[in-house]
Amino acid sequence: MSVEHRTHSGHGLRADASPSPATAVRMMLGVVIGLTVVVVVMLCAFALPSVKGGPHNVPIGVAGPQQAVQAIQSRLDGDAWDVTAYPDPEAIQNAIKRRDIVGGLALGPNGVTVYTASAAGQQISAALSALGTGMAAQQQLRATVQDVVPFPADDPRGAGFTASLLPMIFGGIVPAVALLRLFPGRANLRFQLTGAILFALVAGFSVGAVLQYGFGSLSGSYWLTALALSLGMAALSIPLLALESLFGMGGLATGAIVMFLVGNPLSGIAGPYWLPTGWAVFGQLLPPGATAGLVRAISFFDGTGAGGPAITLAVWALAGLLLMLVPGRRSAGAPQQAASTASPA
């Protein structure tokens, strides 16, 4: 029998061979169940923000006459809003900048002032604005909306920041695939790792320059923002390289699917408080969500709140690096497979 027609145990069927009925049933069930799980997970991840989206434990502040503040707290404090009383409007604004809260309401004799932070999440800002405007209308008062932490004037809706997530995810997946094609095998791990880091740096600084200087979508320190984008891409590509090293292309494909189909919609880039609490926390622990949180903190809040996302991304990158050093199944089985292939029929 020629080498081309040889079948190795555990490596599938010959190209010209037909599986037995029992094997065919098992293979078919595996494919059907596996793809069904993927579709259901994809549906849940992408539909969740639309179906279950809304304010979830959103921290806001209220200032004004004590009786009015207590009335608002008793009315709003619950699953949607987490209300804290502040002594005056200035305290609310300072708390927004410190990221203790994402907005607030100040009650005065001339009306209601709604303090928002669109850079912290446009949907939450819109919901809070509608809430304050509605409350003012009920009391026949005037409502004024003040955006304490807005997006840059060149991109007031934050379209560039929101659109940057997908390129960042592809910036982690595509280089991993390309490097594995150029430098296959565990013998080339150092080239794979070096290429992933170099790409992350070049792409991160390039994307950061386009967003900040081309589109005007980001503000703050360009260098820190670019490093945040680079760290986000490296925190994706290095673990994907590790998964391929341990489990082959199936491991890489699984990791890429999870990051794209789960990490993308649960990233909370439009504001994490819009997702149910558990899903929001899970999304922030994945590289896409952590990268969005890190860039948001550096670009719009002078680095406030950057520590958690930075540590999350560093852990992902370090875990990937350590896993790349672990002898994988492929390296253990490679000599045996090579010998079996070279043996005569």
pLDDT in tens, 245-273: 888 888 898 899 889 888 888 888 878 88
State the pLDDT confidence band at 140, using cuts at 50, 70 and 90: confident
- Per-residue model confidence (pLDDT) at position 340: 44
State the pLDDT confidence band at 336, using cuts at 50, 70 and 90: very low
CA distance 48 to 266: 8
CA distance 334 to 187: 12
Q: What is the mean pLDDT of the chain?
A: 85
- Any idea which residue has 């409350």 for tokens? 135
- Per-residue model confidence (pLDDT) at position 16: 56
Using a pLDDT cut of 90, give the percent of the chain over it: 49
CA distance 7 to 3: 9
State the pLDDT confidence band at 344, using cuts at 50, 70 and 90: very low
pTM: 0.82
CA distance 117 to 129: 10
Q: Which two tokens stand for residue 205?
A: 């600084």
pLDDT exceeds 50 at position 120: yes
pLDDT exceeds 50 at position 1: no
Q: How many CB atoms lie within 10 A of CB 315?
A: 14
As a whole number, mean pLDDT of residues 32-53 equals: 72
State the pLDDT confidence band at 61, using cuts at 50, 70 and 90: very high
- Any idea which residue has 């004799």 for tokens? 109
As a whole number, mean pLDDT of residues 113-126 equals: 92
- Per-residue model confidence (pLDDT) at position 14: 54
pLDDT exceeds 80 at position 44: no
What does the DSSP assignment read for 148-185? SSPPPTTSTT-HHHHHTHHHHHHHHHHHHHHHHHHS-S
State the pLDDT confidence band at 3, using cuts at 50, 70 and 90: very low
Phi, psi of 326 (to 5 degrees): -85, 130
CA distance 203 to 230: 7
State the pLDDT confidence band at 276, using cuts at 50, 70 and 90: confident
- Per-residue model confidence (pLDDT) at position 34: 73
What does the DSSP assignment read for 123-154? HHHHHHHHHHHHHHHHTT-EEEEEESSPPPTT
CA distance 270 to 254: 26
As a whole number, mean pLDDT of residues 93-101 equals: 95
pLDDT exceeds 50 at position 179: yes
Q: Which two tokens stand for residue 18?
A: 């037909």
pLDDT exceeds 90 at position 209: yes
Q: Which long-range contacts (CB under 8 A, 24 or more apart) does 187-196 make?
A: 189/241, 189/245, 189/324, 192/241, 192/324, 193/238, 193/241, 193/321, 193/324, 196/234, 196/237, 196/238, 196/241
Question: Does residue 88 come out as left (phi exceeding 0), alpha (psi in the -120 to 50 range) or beta?
Answer: beta
pLDDT exceeds 80 at position 133: yes
As a whole number, mean pLDDT of residues 298-323 equals: 95
